[in-house]
Amino acid sequence: MSNQLTGYQDDNQTITLSFASSKDLILKVLTNEIIQVFQDHGCPTNSYAIEGNKQRKTNYTVENKGDHIEVRTGALIVKAYDDAKLDVYDADGNPLVLDYRGKREPLPTDMDDEHRKTVMSEGHAVHAKANPDNVNFEVIKSLAKDEVFYGLGGKTGFLNKRGYEYDNWNSDVPVLHNETETHLYKSIPVMYGLKNGHPYGLFFDDTYKSHFDLGKESDNYYYYSAVGGNVDYYILGGHTLKDVVANYTYLTGVVPLPQKWMLGYQQSRWGYSTSDQRVESIADGFAEHNLPIDVIHLDIDYMYGYRDFTWDTTKYKDPKAFVQKMKQRGIRLMPILDAGVKVDDKYDIYKEGMEKGYFVTNPDGSVYVGSVWPGDSVFPDFGNEDVRKWWAKHVKFFADMGVCGVWNDMDEPANFRAKGQLPDDLVFHDGVNISTHAKMHNVFGHLQAQATYEGMKQATGKRPYIITRAAYAGTQKYSTVWTGDNTAVWSHLQLAIPQLNGLGLSGFAFAGTDIGGFQEDTTPELLTRWIEASLLVPLFRNHSILGSRYQEPWAFDKQTLDIYRKYLNLRYRFIPYLYDQFRHETESGLPVMRPLVLNYPDDQETRNLNDEYMIGTNILVSPIVNQGATKRLVYLPAGNWIDFWNHAEYSGQQYIMADAPIDKLPLFVKANTVLPWGNKVMHVSDDPEKVMTFRLFGECGSTKHYQDNGQDFKYQQGEFNEYYVEVTEDGHVAVKLTKHGYKPTYEKIYVETDRSRYEFTYHADTDEYELVNER
């Protein structure tokens, strides 16, 4: 007997579907393009990804069609059937998400328990059982022949996730990452699909360990499963793939506008922080070799015995004065902060946390003791709001020191005991409820980032610079991310592009990889190609592990140094454009760095393109990612494209062969684009810029340019300027200040075309720019 659909209730955009032998399914219409699907499995319903009420007043209808109930908005149609089956269509009736009517058919295997032990004893990886006993529920959807999948944050593998399986369980994975690694440091359970060319998204808001099989097991279906939590997912519609991505960031939040200097170059190494002299020697190296830089990162050695919120004064005579000294040189310092708190009865953070009951406990009520860098360590219960406020209060330590931000690490949370994890049954708060590590694990880093962000914001009044290794959906509201402990191998340079594009599609517009590779020894060629490939990646940081080959720009030959300098200087020229793109991101919810498929979803050639990326809609980057290569095929999508270096113009929707000697990054600008062009500087200054240049690529074009103080939140009260720069087909050039909310303006603006250079001067009395020179 089927599980009959017996009726429904419609109450103010919430439709409750009743079934004869299963729990109710609840459809909640949030917007015209977003519908939540919920089934209560007895877990608290608070979301860590979504803040505030996202429901808008929406026109919709509910009708009993006889064999199904139909819910219709202006953009989505949901049909509910017996057996709690749901089918989702767009407004034109194109199928998007259809429940699978058959049964799963696990991949055949000749592995039995006896052989499993034998194979594992030699060190081989063995996949888990096809039907693990602890799965709480599965959501199985039909798979079309041409369906492709994107998203899932920073998972390994390729841009298109079809044919692979992934887990959501944040883990410190110090081995070489490849496409067989199902989970890394972040759990971002959002996926996007193109089914017969029609876009949709699914966001599963469940913090328990979960699993995606995106067509690996079968060409007929894909599925999501979780070991706990409620059935709680969001159907994301939209006319275009961009609309679908914007609907996801509408739910989970956008990356806030960064401080402008955060887009500058950053140098890091586990080992720099052993002393102030070592840090200063790195700064001296950048000055000596005429290399621009904005941030040096301090890894764990600056701390006193790896204790959080301490600074070892035997290594740094006067840390606060040293931070200020470096700032006067134009270099900010960014210290690391780990999740584990050292067990030490004389350590104030440990004592205070123990007295207030702020650390995670065993089921018997005793405080759990794990091990991280300080040795025996305890872990803050970040699910408790009071603990987050306590942590935020102590973050003021860094603000008082004058550092530029906080770099959260080991916040999966990592543990040197219990096979690298905290036990599932440890007791955490889940807001006002008591829960376990099994539920709170994937949001540990998210909540630590939230506390750190709020602490720095309260202490400084500036836009906080937080970096985190671990994340969940929505962490982008609080923190930048990097992809974790990559390796100095060519496959990881190749992996970087789809990883970062996946993060961008999943809300993380500010992300990067460790340039050159963190683990193992890089080579001059690999480092060169990595700095080229990262030219326009938002987080622009070189980082390496203690004991590996030094990978500062001057650690190799003169050619490597010269090319590195070339691309650092070029990066600073592009910072105004990147800053404009971040302003657009805060308004549109779309990533700055993005795969071509986001801009050209109807172009089949973009759907599996792993080695190119775009910045916004007008810049195309096609890095060299193979050892020894000096040319490559570049796919140019629709439109005309101009080679950045020689201004040769190509029509789109074709592959071209691009020459790429060791010092050349294949880089293309869409024809008739106007780019803001930064000044040649060694650091991004806090002082307002007085001169700005705009470069035209093509015959005509226009752009809207954004300016504010680059530091705090005054722009949210309207303290910003907007400029409109246009070059018309007949050669007329105009510069207009279309909004003047930030007092400083550019005193001079230059517009450069292939024919002339136009100089404009600002007149405060008229609030206008006048053309004063053309040459």
What are the helix and strand counts (H, E) for the chain? 12, 49
435, 543, 562, 575, 645 from 663: Cα distances, Å: 55, 21, 9, 21, 12
**Residue 478 contacts residue 449 (beta carbons within 8 Å):** yes
Residue 25 — φ and ψ, nearest 5°? -105, 135
**Residue 606 contacts residue 595 (beta carbons within 8 Å):** yes
Pairing mode of beta strands 466-468, 14-19: unpaired
DSSP alpha helix (H) spans, 461-595: 490-505, 524-533, 558-588
**Residue 248 contacts residue 193 (beta carbons within 8 Å):** no
Measured distance CA(235)–CA(247) in Å, rounded: 10
Quickly count: other Cβ atoms within 10 Å of residue 497's Cβ: 26
- Whether 557 is catalytic is no
Catalytic residue selected from 147, 232, 409, 514: 409
Beta carbons within 8 Å of 545's beta carbon, 6+ residues apart? 269, 270, 485, 518, 519
- Whether 485 is catalytic is yes
H or E element: which one contains 442?
none
Measured distance CA(477)–CA(51) in Å, rounded: 10
**Residue 675 contacts residue 706 (beta carbons within 8 Å):** no
**Helical axes 385-401 vs 444-460, angle rounded to 10°:** 50
- Whether 409 is catalytic is yes
Which tokens sit at 481? 């991310």
Measured distance CA(205)–CA(432) in Å, rounded: 19
Reply yes or no: is the peptide bond before residue 413 cis, omega within 30 of 0: yes
Nearest one of 772, 774, 584, 577 to 692, comparing CA atoms? 577
H or E element: which one contains 223?
strand 221-226
Residues for the chain: how many in total? 775
CA-CA-CA-CA torsion sign (757, 538, 505, 51): negative
Catalytic residue selected from 33, 205, 412, 611: 412
Largest CA distance in the chain: 86
- The HSE-up count of residue 164 (CA atoms within 13 Å, CB side) is 22
**Residue 43 contacts residue 57 (beta carbons within 8 Å):** no
Measured distance CA(24)–CA(231) in Å, rounded: 11
Catalytic residue selected from 485, 532, 643, 726: 485
Measured distance CA(535)–CA(270) in Å, rounded: 23
3, 61, 162 from 88: Cα distances, Å: 20, 15, 20
Q: Could you tell me which residues are beta bridge partners of residue 675?
A: 695
Please tell me what DSSP assigns to residue 662: T
Q: Per-residue b/e over 571-605, b at no fewer than 16 CB within 10 Å?
A: bbbbbbbbbbbbbbbbeebbbbbbbbbbbbbebee
Measured distance CA(173)–CA(762) in Å, rounded: 54
Long-range interactions of 708-716: CB distance < 8 A, separation 24+: 708/742, 709/742, 710/259, 710/260, 710/261, 710/579, 710/684, 710/686, 711/259, 711/260, 711/462, 711/463, 711/686, 712/461, 712/462, 712/463, 713/461, 713/462, 713/463, 714/742, 715/257, 715/742
Nearest one of 726, 725, 723, 724 to 740, comparing CA atoms? 723
User: What are the residue numbers of the active site?
Assistant: 409, 412, 485
